[in-house]
Structure 1
Amino acid sequence: MNLESFDETGFVSLFDGESLRGWHAEPRVYGSVYPGGPSVDAIFAAHGITPPVEPEKHPAAWHVEHGAVIGQQATPGYGGYLVSDEAFGDFELVLEARPDWPADTGIMLRRRFQDWTGYQVLLDHRESGGIGGFFGNGLASFSAVPFAVRARKNAAGEVIGLEADDPATSMEPVTQEKIDRLSYAGSVEDFLKVWKWDDWNEIRIRCVGALPVITTWVNGLKVAQIDTATIDMPDYDPQAVLDYVGTRGHIALEVHDNDAFFGESRWGHGAKCRWRAIRIKSLDSGA
């Protein structure tokens, strides 16, 4: 297992440690499944799933406490995003995260303004959750993950850490197809050696290119890489994605909603996610 070192020069802070200045909250409102495609609500209806009722009226709650951004469900079952006011092109983003268990969160990249579409780096800190992998919000829902985790419990049934998910019993199994979408897939064994339970973990993300190559590291360990220009799956059209998303967009932190499948195993009652030391370095040509 090799941990990488990085050039820490050139970063600017996106969080002052005291306020949400430079950020704004948006509710978790769904849009199209893919550019020009049907709405997520229409897909829900076709599968007999009741969509969230007026989610725009139930945004997540965000505040600053002890030098960290805190996100949680303000109305049980409803999620939301904290979105950067500024848009970014090519960049390296570093932040520290400390989510409760279970808390299904993530970091969105090149998110469209007031639109759920964008690339997401997963921080699914829950049963069968992927950490450091990718999901395409409004981009044909592509899933590209190297592994999944589940709770490690003691004899009393208390969650005391993470362990590798069991595909035989997984709520959301990692298939070979999901792994094959990655140009690099780290091992769960190495990940478990560096992940710090109930503590702060550094997430580093590099996003470069018009249809970006996105790379993730956790505590210096390379976890995953994807080339979004080469994703091969139904309804994913790279040119349509580029035309719709563009080459710049917003960064967003996520509080997930609860759904009929996962319920509170996706976001536990009263659970919070915490973020601090959020900083970014532009990698745009000429920056």
Structure 2
Amino acid sequence: MIKHNYTRRAFLTRLAPALALVPGTGLAKSLFSETGSDGFTDLFDGKTLTGWHTNRQKIGHGTGGHWQVENGALTGEQDPPGSGNGGVLMTDKKYGDFELLIDLAPDWGVDSGVFLRTNSSGECFQVYVDYHEKGDVGFISTERAHGKHRMYIRPFYINSIRDNDGNLKGFETHPDDRKEAWGPDFLTYHCTPEQWKKTWKIGGWNTLRIRCVGKYPKISTWINGTRIAEFNGNTSRSPLYNKEELFQALGREGSIALQVHGGKGWPSGAKCRWKNIRVKSL
């Protein structure tokens, strides 16, 4: 038998890349902070909004929404609550090819998302965090401005199942039969409804992992380590997707952003919560 006599630091350095494949674990995070070997950078310090700004011009969702730090988490809601005025919180720095790890705990009823390559008008690729009736979390769409058609792709959506006291206890899923929403060549991969329901933690923190790479980006998503969807921006046949026109609007890089959807659908006082926001440029 071959024996390896590693120091503690050498052992952690060798172990950290494997743990990087298991996002959201406290052990992995503690190792990363010690060794710095994973290449990820914190985007949120748990105390302030340093490195972030709301949309500097009014966009379709509103003037920015209300963002603050509560108990070490970044929270977003409409401003004022229930008013219909939302917006996005954007990183000051721009990113092109990257991998993002982010923990989220949305209240049921919120309509949010993680925006990728966001421009000043709030246009972007988006990973859904539509945690409401007929919503979904983890699939891929776009946001557009000036009346341009947005792309939405989702093979199924979620509805709530409640207990006798009205508390959320589970989900039922249904195919999205809109021809613009789903076709077998819109995504290169998607999970099953049962896989999604099994991985999502009701009432707790969930880790979303996003990988975005390429001029016409390939966007892959995972929730709690379960692969959810893969979109290939070079080959997707969605009728609402025009890769050249969208590339002209977004370019090769943009802000990472979090959304508070505008309109009256967002319940008054409901929030989406985020923490452990970490990015690695690729």
Instruction: Please classify the TM superposition score into its range, dividing by the shorter chain length.
Output: 0.7 to 0.9
Counterpart residue identity of residue 280, structure 2: K
1:141 corresponds to: 150
Return the match for 1:104 from 102, 105, 111: 111
Residue 269 of structure 1 deviates from its aligned partner by 1.2
2:35 corresponds to: none
2:218 corresponds to: 213
* Counterpart check, 1:5 vs 2:28: no
CA RMSD of aligned residues (A): 2.1
Counterpart residue identity of residue 213, structure 1: K
1:237 corresponds to: 242
Answer yes or no: is the 8 Å Cα contact 1:96–1:275 preserved in 2: yes
Residue 119 of structure 1 deviates from its aligned partner by 0.1
Counterpart residue identity of residue 274, structure 1: R
- Identical-residue share of aligned pairs (%): 36
1:45 corresponds to: none
Separation (CA, whole Å) in 2 of partners of 1:239 and 1:276? 34
Length-normalised TM-score, structure 2: 0.80
Separation (CA, whole Å) in 2 of partners of 1:28 and 1:194? 36
Answer yes or no: is the 8 Å Cα contact 1:11–1:279 preserved in 2: yes
Separation (CA, whole Å) in 2 of partners of 1:77 and 1:226? 31
CA gap of 1:152–1:140, structure 2 versus 1, over 3 A, is same
Answer yes or no: is the 8 Å Cα contact 1:106–1:254 preserved in 2: yes
CA gap of 1:134–1:145, structure 2 versus 1, over 3 A, is same
Separation (CA, whole Å) in 2 of partners of 1:28 and 1:188? 36
Q: Secondary structure at the match of 1:107?
A: strand
* Counterpart check, 1:83 vs 2:90: yes
Separation (CA, whole Å) in 1 of partners of 2:177 and 2:221? 18
* Counterpart check, 1:178 vs 2:210: no
| Cα deviation code 1:44-87 (max 9, x no counterpart) | xxxxxxxx8xx44xx31101111110101113111111100000
Separation (CA, whole Å) in 1 of partners of 2:128 and 2:277? 17
Residue 234 of structure 1 deviates from its aligned partner by 4.4
Return the match for 1:164 from 159, 172, 184: 172
Counterpart residue identity of residue 145, structure 1: R
Length-normalised TM-score, structure 1: 0.79
Residue 12 of structure 1 deviates from its aligned partner by 0.6
* Worse overlay, 224-233 or 61-70: 224-233
| Cα deviation code 1:10-60 (max 9, x no counterpart) | 111000110000000126613xxxxxxxxxxxxxxxxxxxxx8xx44xx31
Task: Give the total of aligned pairs.
Answer: 242
Residue 161 of structure 1 deviates from its aligned partner by 3.0
1:47 corresponds to: none
CA gap of 1:185–1:99, structure 2 versus 1, over 3 A, is same
Q: Secondary structure at the match of 2:100?
A: strand
| Cα deviation code 1:129-169 (max 9, x no counterpart) | 0110111111731111232111110124x1323312345xx
* Worse overlay, 214-223 or 70-79: 70-79
Residue 94 of structure 1 deviates from its aligned partner by 0.3
Asked which structure has the greater CA Rg, the reply is 2
Counterpart residue identity of residue 150, structure 2: S
1:277 corresponds to: 276
CA gap of 1:245–1:209, structure 2 versus 1, over 3 A, is same
Return the match for 2:53 from 15, 21, 24: 24
CA gap of 1:174–1:250, structure 2 versus 1, over 3 A, is farther
Answer yes or no: is the 8 Å Cα contact 2:138–2:221 preserved in 1: yes
Separation (CA, whole Å) in 2 of partners of 1:77 and 1:126? 16
1:190 corresponds to: 195
Separation (CA, whole Å) in 2 of partners of 1:128 and 1:282? 34
Answer yes or no: is the 8 Å Cα contact 2:173–2:193 preserved in 1: no
| Cα deviation code 1:249-282 (max 9, x no counterpart) | 1100001112xxxx43xx1111001000000011
Answer yes or no: is the 8 Å Cα contact 1:28–1:78 preserved in 2: no
Separation (CA, whole Å) in 2 of partners of 1:204 and 1:130? 16
Answer yes or no: is the 8 Å Cα contact 2:183–2:238 preserved in 1: no
